Amino acid sequence: MKKYPFKFLDSYNQNDTDIFFGRDEEVNALYEMIFQHSILLVYGGSGTGKTSLIQCGLAGKFKSYDWLAFMVRRGSNINASLEKALTDAGGNDVVDEDEITSENEKKLTGLPKLIKGVYQTHFKPVYLIFDQFEELYILGTKEEATQFIESVKQILASEQPVKMIFSIREEYLGYLFDFERAVPQLLRKKLRVEPMTIDNLTDVLTGINNFKNSNVRIKAEELGTITEGIFNRLRGKKNTLTIQLPYLQVFFDKLYMEITHDESRQADAIVTNETLLSMGDIGDVLRDFLEDQVKIISQKQTVAGNNIPVDTIWKILSPFATLKGTKEPIEKKELQNRLKGIDEKLLNDCIEAFVSHRIMNFNEATNTYELAHDSLAKCIAEKRSDEDIALLEIRRLINNQVAIKAEAREPFTGKQLNIIEPYLNKIELTAEEKELIAQSRKEVERLRNAEKRRRMAKLAGSLISLAIAASVAFGVNLYNKKVTAKKTQQESLARFKALAKKSMEKENKLQAYLYTIEALQLEKDTTAYDSLVTEASKARRLPLYSLNKMLLHNSVVVRAAFAPGDSAIYTWSSDGLLNEWNLQTGSLIRKVKFELKNDDEGNSELINPHTTVLFSQQNNNSLTVADTVLQDSSVYYKKMFAQLFEPDATGLPGFPEIIMKIRGANYSADKKIEITWGKNTESIYDAVDLWDEDGINIGPSLVHDGIYGAAISKDNSMVLTWGSDSTARIWRTTKGDTSIFKLNPELMKLKAQLQTGVEVSPIDQTLKIIFPEAYIKKQEEYKELIDKIGGEKKN
Amino acid sequence: MDNTTGAAANQDIVIENVQTDSITVKVNGEMQEIKNGFEELKALLATLNAENFKSGDKIYNIGSITNATFSAEIGKKTFNMLLCRKLTEAIQDYSADAKSFLAAIKDSDKGNWETQSRYTRKANAYIISSYVGVLGILLRKLIASGQDASSSGNQKDYLEVCIATTKRTLQLLCFAFISRLWDLSTDKPQALGNDQLNALDNFFNSPVELNITDYVTLFKTMVSFFKEQQLDYPFSEIKEMEAALNDGSTFLTNCKNLQAISDKLDAGQYTLSTAFEAETELTEFLVTLKFLANYKMISVKDIAYEEIRSNTAQYLHAYTFLGVDNDSNMYSQKFKYDNNPISTDSILLFKDKYQDGLNLFPFIIDINALTNELEVKICFYTYYEENKKRLAYSDINKISSDKNDNENNIQDPSEVAITYNEEIENDIKASVDRDITRFKSDVKRFHDMQLNVVYKTFQLAKNIIVS
């Protein structure tokens, strides 16, 4: 029987090895690596085919007796999903209480025992494949991730016949920091799944033609031109060297339907240049597909005889995409809770329509619905209005708070309530959520009154101290009031600190920020805290940047710059092409062929027959390496401080011990931000780091491997990076997000010295080893400083 | 087999119902229940003085069917029941776990415990962990592929693993003898006769992989030479199985039959009963070689020399156990201090102390140890192409009956080739003060340099033994 050789937005699996083409090199590399190490990391951009590569390409290389694979998706909790997968596969079936079980076997517990149970049921090596692993970091909690890391360590230590494969989108690689620290072998064997090139596409089309059961054929004598035609259409005006698989699949499906009009996809089709040309301008295939389906569904669905507005369909789709534009699996019941204003029947009908229109899939293992591909989630996220985004943020804030057990749950702060209140009439709240908000209002009111009383007490205290001699009895009374006020203040302060710490552990920066500001306000009168207040308020203004656009060339991008007024971006590559890009949309405005000449000062002179244009690297700012950057014989070093990971001993967020090797540096226009680029000791990639005027690292590293240079826009809202990977990347500040909690610089310096065991010599500005005696002294200084600042000791 | 004559005409014997552990037989209208086994059915028919019986729509003659036919067609057995029972019983002298397991089986279950998964699960684990290193790995595959073949009806994978297990077992025996011979020849040249020289020449110079029969010949030749010269066998237990190498022995018949099954597999002429036949033959073959459960194997990953000032020098051995140990730990890496070094990159076969083990390198190699990878990748030497200066190995993890066929673009996925890189060798010779820094920094060249060591060691062994 003939077979349709495309999978639309579904992944290829072990049954599709006969139609899986163009990935031989990666499959072979993966197959070799799996015999070399017990952990593999597969990473790549969205739509590069990571899942298919593993569950079809790799799985197809194994005989059935050597491959017992479990695709573990996060579901509602990755640890529970892992346990369920192993239990379902017979993990608990081995009877271990009876007389035929050896003593050694009885010692095993937890996951290793489950894995042993699975092994003794099947006698096959177990492969745990954690697909879309980024979900743990997008949708999971810190506790969940920590528990998972412990589980992985436990599995590795148990030496069971098990291997683990992690598949993750490359933009989330940075999130593996803690994981790699705990499991250093995590990144030892890794494979980047490259986006599809024209050569891969040629292999795919040739493979389809060679597959004798395929019901699709490409006209053999036109194979070359058809390949090129498809490739050019899919890359559109972007002129990239690669295309995304979901786009190719959706395009082919569209092409097939144009030729056959057979929805059962059984009819034979022959693709020719002519059929390809008849497709006309295809635009953004995936967005168009989604919009078409939404329109069709809106016309099909009715309530009281009326069609459903397209906006309602988008609203129903919205919860399935995270704020970051990745897919979020949701149970039907949860969706009904989130979309209370929408009729339940309509909701169910729409979900069914989404599934039948191949926008969505149902995952039986987790009982959830999810979008067929992350690329659809991106399209949905882009459709959201600012208000939708704000509503989702508020929803996340409320969910996070309610997710905590009732006995440990804390009310919202005054500032949180100020953010939430304007949207309350636009979101459906459960009885529990309503009660929490009501409680929070009461608590805020109580705290306000307590603060008033404290101020009153302070004022009274001043008056009394002036008149202390007048009445000892009155003084005692006042003293009691002061003690009470102080006690209330200390209690509130301790609670706010604890809440800030808890929020930071959950990586809820916004919430932690609000709690800390509350805490700081209560400590206004303590001088020891002043420096922290200054740091925090300073840090509050500092932006975090996230990748916004990627501008692609055909060869190495040697220079890039913001155009005057930050309206456009110029990039130029080693093949002599100067591109001008629209800064807002990332679209190419024009392309000019130039001869490129660099002068001695690093400026690039672009010459065409008519004009000579001189561009500076960045807003005419100095290229001088900052004073705080240190130099040894060959490279520059810089210590990288505060990163918002684990709490410090003070209860505030700490920072890892990272030393950055710097290849270049630059200043912002106002000279308040310094940017450096190079490689740091914790990362295998080149990255850009930003530093404030006190030399404090702000925000996460902007990863751009093979970086040549970086610049910052005049208003500091964007960072531009460019490099050998033929891309220039624009990074923007994340709306509503701020980098906070910069610690006392002296404390940071000491902590970094203690963690790294090296310090910067004040004499010759080189790195020196700290010897034991000095190290102990520094430890004591560090403890004293923490005590002085008033932080809590970490257990 | 259709046969309507004879006793069946007088005695109406019909198999009515088949269960995993029992068969219900209707004898002249009366129901009888016997154990689901070839021997039990044979005994019943003997008691009834009958030869023929009916099962389904076929009439069989008991004298013309084999245990394999019975398992496949009449008893509807699942694979590895026989193997599981016989091997567990065979290894109990070497495995305390297997012994106590057998002793703990309830009396009521003793007759047919191999039909109950709660027992076979444990027994299979003991078999896999007991048989020496690489054989444990292959038996793991055999048990898993037996489960798959029973449920899917696909016998090819199962047959491939049976044949690979036979061949690798014979290779292991031969490699052990040749390695011991090499060690002995280094100390004192050995007086090899023409038969031995021919067999060894075939081993070292064959441009195609030897088959089961070839390895049996080589094994017999080696045993007879060691016996003649009164040399210690690499496996002391071979003394007790010398008779098994006499012409017409069960062991040699098993080997011959396994070769015939291998031929059927290559020709694509196999059925369900061929697979049961393979199970029976392989089981008997492994029962004869049960002493292999008394041995262990390690791959030496690394050796570090440590001598700090006046302290006594010591060596840090890093090695990995091959196979699956009693707690199902596969490939668990160990580190151990010792006062003496051991050969780098070696594969050691031993009974008690690995330090006293027999080094099987370069006949068995761990490619991953040579290329500094953590896990083990065990490859067995298969053939040598002199004109290409190329040694072919077989990765035991990748079993396939596909043979290289360039015309039809078919590759044997298990083949690992080591081709001598003369250029690197010359570069090393030309390097000053044996400084190999530039090779170390180039991963590809360093790997080639390591693989050259395999090639050179193989040639050295050949020269010492055969020349």
Mean pLDDT of A130-149: 90
**H helix intervals, B188-302:** 194-205, 212-228, 250-267, 272-288
Place of tokens 């790995």: B137
Please tell me whether residue A786 adopts helix, strand or coil conformation: helix
What residues contact residue A358 under an 8 Å CB cut-off, 6+ apart? A8, A9, A372
- Residues of chain B with Cβ-Cβ distance to A187 below 8 Å are none
Confidence at residue B253, expressed as pLDDT on a 0 to 100 scale: 96
Q: Tell me the two tokens of residue A7.
A: 């999978």
| Residue A793 pLDDT level (bands cut at 50, 70, 90) | very low
Mean pLDDT of A267-275: 91
CB contact under 8 A, A36 and B368: yes
Q: Does A45 or A133 have the greater pLDDT score? A: A133
Please tell me whether residue B376 adopts helix, strand or coil conformation: coil
Distance between A12 CA and the closest CA of chain B, angstroms: 22
Closest residue in A to B320 (Cα–Cα) = A159
B 388-427: CB under 8 A from A? 397, 399, 413
| Residue A503 pLDDT level (bands cut at 50, 70, 90) | low
CB contact under 8 A, B374 and A36: yes
Residues B326, B129: contact at Cβ < 8 Å?
Answer: yes
Mean pLDDT of A379-396: 78
pLDDT above 70: residue A683:
no
- Residues of chain B with Cβ-Cβ distance to A120 below 8 Å are 121-122, 124-125, 328
Mean pLDDT of A269-298: 82
- Residues of chain A with Cβ-Cβ distance to B328 below 8 Å are 116, 119-120, 160-161
Q: Does B110 touch chain A (CB under 8 A)?
A: no
Over residues A767-777, the pLDDT tens digits come to 566 777 777 78
Q: How many whole angstroms separate alpha carbon A334 and alpha carbon A338?
A: 6
Over residues A715-753, the pLDDT tens digits come to 777 888 888 777 788 877 654 333 333 335 566 566 666
Return the number of CB contacts < 8 Å for A and B: 83
Distance between B323 CA and the closest CA of chain A, angstroms: 10
**H helix intervals, B153-239:** 156-187, 194-205, 212-228
Over residues A70-104, the pLDDT tens digits come to 999 998 899 999 999 999 988 877 655 555 565 66
CB contact under 8 A, A64 and B145: yes
Task: Collect the ranges in chain B with pLDDT lower than 50.
Answer: 1-9, 326, 328
The contact set of A with B (CB < 8 A) is: 35-38, 61, 63-66, 94-95, 99-102, 104-105, 108, 116, 119-125, 158-161, 185
Mean pLDDT of chain A: 74
Strand partners, B416: B393
Sheet hosting strand A588-593, strand order edge to edge:
A557-562, A568-573, A577-582, A588-593
What residues contact residue B293 under an 8 Å CB cut-off, 6+ apart? B90, B91, B94, B95, B130, B131, B132
| Residue A644 pLDDT level (bands cut at 50, 70, 90) | very low
B93 C-beta neighbours (distance < 10 Å), count: 13
Confidence at residue B318, expressed as pLDDT on a 0 to 100 scale: 87
**Which DSSP state fits B393?**
E
Give the amino acid at A383.
K
- Residues of chain A with Cβ-Cβ distance to B157 below 8 Å are 63-65
Distance between A634 CA and the closest CA of chain B, angstroms: 20
Q: Does B450 touch chain A (CB under 8 A)?
A: no
For the CA atoms of B157, B158, B164, B165, what is the dihedral angle to 10 degrees?
A: 150
A165 phi and psi angles, rounded to 5 deg: -125, 125
Q: How many whole angstroms separate alpha carbon A132 and alpha carbon A175?
A: 13
Please tell me whether residue B86 adopts helix, strand or coil conformation: helix
Mean pLDDT of A240-244: 82
Q: Tell me the two tokens of residue A160.
A: 């069971």
pLDDT above 90: residue A781:
no
CB contact under 8 A, A159 and B124: no
Distance between B440 CA and the closest CA of chain A, angstroms: 19
Closest residue in A to B142 (Cα–Cα) = A65
Q: Does B129 touch chain A (CB under 8 A)?
A: no
Q: Does B352 or A284 have the greater pLDDT score? A: B352
Q: How many whole angstroms separate alpha carbon B347 and alpha carbon B322?
A: 9
Confidence at residue B409, expressed as pLDDT on a 0 to 100 scale: 59
Which of A12-16, A122-126, A766-770, B428-432 has the weakest average pLDDT?
A766-770
Region label for A347, one of left (φ > 0), alpha (ψ between -120 and 50) or beta (otherwise): alpha
Sheet hosting strand B52-55, strand order edge to edge:
B30-35, B22-27, B13-18, B52-55, B58-61
Please tell me whether residue B19 adopts helix, strand or coil conformation: coil
Please tell me whether residue A543 adopts helix, strand or coil conformation: strand
| Residue A646 pLDDT level (bands cut at 50, 70, 90) | very low
Please tell me whether residue A351 adopts helix, strand or coil conformation: helix
Q: ipTM higher than 0.85? A: yes
Over residues A302-341, the pLDDT tens digits come to 666 667 788 888 888 988 888 778 888 888 888 887 787 7
Over residues A17-66, the pLDDT tens digits come to 889 988 889 999 999 999 888 899 999 988 889 999 999 999 999 999 99
Confidence at residue A95, expressed as pLDDT on a 0 to 100 scale: 55
Place of tokens 């149902």: A362
Helix and strand numbers (H, E) in chain A are 25, 30
Most A CBs within 10 A among B100, B102, B328, B400, hence the mutation to make, goes to: B328
Over residues B12-33, the pLDDT tens digits come to 899 988 888 889 999 988 898 8
| A65 closest CB neighbour out of B105, B157, B326 | B157
Closest residue in A to B399 (Cα–Cα) = A63
Over residues A427-477, the pLDDT tens digits come to 778 888 888 888 888 888 888 788 777 766 765 555 445 444 444 444 455
- Residues of chain A with Cβ-Cβ distance to B147 below 8 Å are 65, 122-123
B40 C-beta neighbours (distance < 10 Å), count: 17
| Residue A598 pLDDT level (bands cut at 50, 70, 90) | low
For residue A337, CA distances in Å to A353, A400, A431, A553 come to 20, 15, 12, 46
